[in-house]
Amino acid sequence: MAKKSKKQQSGGTPATVALTAAGVAHTVHAYDHDPAHPSYGEEAAEAMGVSPDRVFKTLVADVDGALTVAVVPVSGTLNLKALAAAVGGKRAAMADPVLAERTTGYVRGGISPLGQRRRLRTVLDDSAGDHATICVSAGRRGLEVELAPTDLAALTEAVLAPIGRD
């Protein structure tokens, strides 16, 4: 059963609202975000006491002119060529951060693959299937949501592909 914080019960973020509306089992993890920490994802893993290969970061890339979401473990990096190939594209580059924020409705470091302002095509690194649950941003810095990778893939209509590298 999903654990709900007071904030979520009173509305929550678009990501937690989407999960609740879909009836997906999930757990919300809140922690105090340190703006001086060099990595949002590593900070989340440390704060939750979770292995970094179970915490996934949400990155927005431009693939042949179309914004695309890549969800990869924080313990690695995004392979842009693999991302392009996963969606039938030729070329990928990281999206302009301001455009990514405006399009998703979230701030950098808090972009969630769920509940985006404009739904973007999504690719989830296939290593997510190695875990019963993974953690992704719940829509703001200092807030993560833990859920089954199959549920994340279904809700985002994600393609699963090997897009991360160690």
* Tens digit of each residue's pLDDT (9 = 90 or more) over 111-129: 999 999 999 999 999 999 9
The confidence band for 7, taking pLDDT boundaries of 50, 70 and 90, is very low
Band (5; pLDDT cuts 50, 70, 90): very low
Q: What is the mean pLDDT of the chain?
A: 91
Confidence of residue 3 (pLDDT cuts 50, 70, 90): very low
Binned at pLDDT 50, 70 and 90, residue 11 comes out as low
Three-state DSSP at 117 gives coil
Percent of the chain residues past pLDDT 90, beyond the cut: 82
Q: Which element (helix H / strand E) includes 66?
A: strand 66-73
Instruction: Name the percent of the chain in helix, strand, coil, to the closest 5.
Output: 30, 30, 40
Neighbours of 123 (CB within 10 A): 29
Paired with 136 in beta bridges are 145
pLDDT for 2 beyond 50: no
Half-sphere exposure of residue 71: CA atoms within 13 angstroms, side-chain side: 29
Q: Which has more confidence, 122 or 6? A: 122
Instruction: Note the pLDDT of residue 33.
Output: 87
pLDDT in tens, 36-89: 888 888 889 999 999 999 999 999 999 999 999 999 999 999 999 999 999 999
Full-model pTM: 0.90
Residue 11 vs residue 148, higher pLDDT = 148
- pLDDT attached to residue 26: 96
CA 142/CA 153 separation, integer angstroms:
23
